Amino acid sequence: MRRLTKTVVLVYGLSAVMAQAAQKPEPIQQPVQVMVLGSYHFGNPGRDINNMKADSVLTPQRQRELERVADALVKFRPTHVMVEMQSQEPDLAIAEYRRFDGKMLASDANEIVQIGYRTARRAGLSAVQGIDEQPEADEPDYFPYDKLEATAARLGKTPLLQSLNADTAAWIKSFEAAQKGSSVGQLLLQMNDPRGPQGKMDFYYSALAIGDRDDQAGADLNAMWYLRNAKIFGKLMLTTKPGDRVLVVYGSGHLFWLKHFARHTPGYVDVDVMPYLKKAGGR
């Protein structure tokens, strides 16, 4: 009888342990940390509605400042660096990065090279991903500004559009003037300040008023700009796994939406770039 009791107790105990093991929760996966660095366009491509004139970042002084920026950003310990360039590779890798060297740094002013490639190399990364999205022949315009202008003219709302552009132009003029006495790190601090125009949607949301019942051009502009940025972040998601740390170097106009997706997408968190830039701010 005692043997039977012991056997029953043993079986019961084993069953309880197995039940507890079955109920044990899955390990919590670490989120993907995304740090977005909004940059001005170092190479002056002139593709925006309101373009900023950047001074040369190829001078010895600017190169020293960019070294400090890279030194600060690499402390984030990125496992990926992603930039505003398209890639047709399955892993979205950019072939140009394989050729990155000192000669490229000395001759190519693009922020992709000067910040993206430089930081990736400093972090020991073998690849840089290009996650940009641009419309193909059969795809819609992601920034239908011409339509917005035409609708504003038809509805007598050109003064509103001009006012919105004037606000942006004034901020750009102030930024251009700040280049004379500021380091690249300090300029990037200004560019990524959430209180500035790059951190808000004042232009886009004010443009919602440009339209009528049937032609809501301001809403269309907002929708297409959202779509492009959603596709960009979707590409980021294709090449990340839990626990990754992603540095995104992109034109500052994308700052609001890319940070929005990092904050609100399950499994992803937004990392503030400002503390890192403050360490790089000195001249």
Q: Which sign does the torsion angle of CA 165, 168, 172, 178 carry?
A: positive
- The letter for the amino acid at 265 is T
C-alpha dist (Å) from residue 262 to 30, 116, 138, 245, 277: 14, 19, 29, 12, 19
Write down the pLDDT at residue 18: 55
Write down the pLDDT at residue 4: 47
Tell me the C-alpha distance between 276 and 189, whole Å: 9
Residues lower than pLDDT 70 in the chain: 1-27, 45-51, 282-283
- DSSP code at position 247: E
Tell me the C-alpha distance between 235 and 250, whole Å: 14
Write down the pLDDT at residue 61: 96
Query: What are phi and psi for residue 63, nearest 5 degrees?
Result: -65, -40
Helices (H), 145-270: 145-154, 158-178, 184-191, 202-206, 217-238, 255-264
Q: What angle do CA 5, 9, 13 make, to 5 degrees?
A: 170
Tell me the C-alpha distance between 272 and 35, whole Å: 6
Instruction: Report CA dihedral (199, 33, 82, 54) to the nearest 10 degrees.
Output: 30
C-alpha dist (Å) from residue 11 to 6, 8, 15, 20, 31: 9, 5, 6, 14, 40
Tell me the C-alpha distance between 222 and 201, whole Å: 10
- DSSP code at position 3: H
- DSSP code at position 79: S
Write down the pLDDT at residue 48: 60
> What tokens does 74 get?
């690499």
> What tokens does 136 get?
């193909």
- The letter for the amino acid at 115 is I
Strand 268-271 to strand 129-130: parallel, antiparallel, or no bridges (unpaired)?
A: unpaired
- Beta bridge pairs of residue 251: 39
- Residues in CB range of 232: below 8 A, 6 or more apart: 131, 132, 133, 250, 254, 258
Tell me the C-alpha distance between 242 and 27, whole Å: 12
